[in-house]
A and B are shown apart, each in its own frame.
Chain A
Amino acid sequence: MHQLQQSVDATPSEEPAKRLGRAIVVTSGKGGVGKTTTTANLGTALAARGARVVLVDADVGLRNLDIVLGLESRVKYHVLDVLEEKVSIDDALVADKRVETLSLLAAAQTREKDEVDTEKMRALIQMLRERFDYVLIDCPAGIEQGFQNAVVGAEEAIVVCTPEVSAVRDVDRVVGLLGNRFKPQLIINRLRPQLVKKGKMLSVEDVNGILHLPLLGVIADEPEIIVTTNKGEPLALRRDGATASAYHAIAARVAGEDVPAPTVEVKETSFLDKLGAFFGGRKS
């Protein structure tokens, strides 16, 4: 009985169609808010859970994801080579050596966004969904052709927003453009809790009081992210530390686990800390 149950679970569903992976576009409207950083870390964290993940750099002309992942020296071909049928998908995929189930499909650095055939892009994402559990698409900034090509094959969206007026405004616009089909979920990036506490930065509640999106989690403004990006080692390769843990929690939530959305708390400074800071001349 037990065995039977197991074998039933193990057998792929009867219907001939393969179970497709989830294609999720990471977008924001505004540039520089952390789409690429989020894609790299979330992808790493999902792959660390054992899921097969491919990261697609849809920022044609401004390739970045390979650098953030530290895979730039191994990129030989790119999305357009595949779309133009110059090489097979397998030739173009770069497997990450640190997390076995993670792969990258790089963007073309020397081409233009409008050289991408939207319909072919849709077909490519569909093909990737047959092979991977997650297809994360790193969207370029803006809402023009590059955005259209990045979202065309996706069925879900993660929007990245920093706590700034212009970023929230752009996310609002992008969410309007996406409509309900993409079930957009929100990641608030680069929050500085000290500033929020002092009333100098929009809080999570301020931002989402306006956007009203399901919140996947909050990522702090984290100096380590700059360091890890310098090295090409996404922070989510680690498990220690608040920000790495936050990425893993977001990955768990994306995977459907019922864990709380990570938040960023102000570290309560004790009187002694303040005294130390005062005498140390540090500004908090």
Chain B
Amino acid sequence: MIEWVKKMFGQTPSSSTAKERLRLVLMTDHLALAPEIIESMKRDLVDVISRYVEVDREKVEVNFEREDKALAMLANIPITAVARPNKPEEEPKAKAEPAPAAEPEPVAEAVAAEPQAKATTSTMSGPPPTRRRRKKKAGGSKPAPAH
């Protein structure tokens, strides 16, 4: 739609720019006003990742940054150990408890950026991290078997 308008007028009308800025600034505002949501999101995120690799929970950092037209969630999750991938058939260990059902306030369409996984062990084997769009709702989804 914006592209279409651009084509029609040769440039983006400033009202579209205003709308876009407003949308982004309100997402940032709402996140800043909901530290509990960020905390539980962080917890769920780390829970999911630690099903596959060992993570240093104390050093996990989650930040939000404005990227061009979206809000990016940047998670810095130090990985302390990775199991040798010799048994691909083995089911990853199930989570002890299902994630709480509490639905956080909808935080609009926040796009999760690629987590900047840091390997603190020098020999990180296995496939390179694939870029994934993370769904807001943690838990519930079955861990995908590694191929």
Contacts and interface: CB of A to CB of B under 8 A. Distances in A.
Interface of A: 164-165, 168-169, 172-173, 176, 196, 198-203, 206, 210
B29 A169 contact: yes
Contact of B18 (A172, A173, A176, A202): A202
A206 B19 CA distance: 7
B29 A200 contact: no
Nearest to A168: B22
Interface of B: 5, 9, 13-16, 18-19, 21-23, 25-26, 29, 33
Contact of A173 (B15, B19, B23, B29): B29
Contacts of B19: 202, 206, 210
Contacts of A201: 15, 18
Contact of B13 (A164, A173, A198): A198
A198 to B, nearest CB: 7
6 smallest CB-CB distances across A and B, nearest first, come from A199-B13, A199-B15, A165-B22, A206-B19, A165-B18, A202-B18
Nearest to A201: B15
A98 B13 CA distance: 45
A165 B25 contact: yes
Nearest to B20: A165
A176 B13 contact: no
Contacts of B25: 165, 169
Given A206-B19, A206-B22, A210-B26, 14 more contacts: A168-B22, A169-B25, A173-B29, A196-B15, A199-B13, A199-B14, A200-B13, A200-B14, A201-B18, A202-B15, A202-B18, A202-B22, A210-B22, A210-B23
B16 A199 contact: yes
A165 to B, nearest CB: 5
Nearest to A176: B33
Central interface residue in B13, B15, B25, B33, by most chain A CB within 10 Å: B15
Contact of B15 (A168, A176, A203): A203
A212 to B, nearest CB: 12
A169 B13 contact: no
A156 B5 CA distance: 40
The winner among A165, A196, A202, A203 for most chain B CB atoms within 10 A is A165
Contacts of B33: 176
Nearest to A177: B33
Given A199-B5, A202-B18, A172 B26 contact: yes
Nearest to B8: A199
B9 to A, nearest CB: 7
Contacts of A199: 5, 9, 13-16
27 contacts: A164-B18, A165-B18, A165-B25, A169-B25, A169-B26, A169-B29, A172-B29, A173-B29, A176-B33, A196-B15, A198-B13, A199-B5, A199-B9, A199-B14, A199-B15, A200-B13, A200-B15, A201-B18, A202-B15, A202-B18, A202-B22, A203-B15, A206-B15, A206-B19, A206-B22, A210-B19, A210-B22
Nearest to B23: A210
A210 B13 CA distance: 18
Contacts of B26: 169, 172, 210
Contacts of A202: 15, 18-19, 22
A197 to B, nearest CB: 10
